[in-house]
Amino acid sequence: MQAQMLAPAAVLVLWSLVMLFWLALTRLPPLFKQPGGLGSSKRGGRGQDLEGVLPDTVQWKSHNYTHLMEQPTLFYATVAIIAILGAQQLDVRLAWGYVVLRIAHSLWQALVNTVPVRFMLFNLSTLCLMILAVRAVMATCGAGGAA
């Protein structure tokens, strides 16, 4: 059951890398079209410095990649805890639910980006994560949960 519990985390890692390449492929061409190309950005510049410089539709991929570096870090830790202590089928289903919802969130944000749908996808994925986190706490405190 450990591999089954870790598989969703591995898929989310891979998806995060897909988003990284997608953002690079959409962001670099417009950057090269800027006067001076990449060398025109200020020294030590950051991605957020491109807000208002590149089209919003280009930046959406970057915004989502940033999101994938935030809350999912809690998911990875939670999944690891549950996998170590012994996952149950419910844990695996919740983990896959989280990953599917995060990928749907990514696609929605990168392609359409209307907030109500994005917010719903985020809230549903967060609910999966909250239940997993509670189950991890219960398992580590010996109150049942995942183990």
Task: Please name each of the domains of the chain with its CATH number.
Answer: 2-140 (1.20.120.550)
Give 106-121 pLDDT, tens digit per residue: 999 999 999 999 999 9
Average pLDDT along the chain: 89
Q: Which residues contact 78 (CB under 8 A, 6 or more apart)?
A: 129, 132, 133, 136
Q: Work out the average pLDDT over 62-89.
A: 97
76: confidence class by pLDDT, cuts 50, 70, 90: very high
- From the list 122, 144, 146, 143, the residue with the least C-alpha distance to 132 is 146
The confidence score (pLDDT) of residue 33 equals 75
Task: Report pTM.
Answer: 0.87
pLDDT tier, 18 (very low <50, low <70, confident <90, very high otherwise) = very high
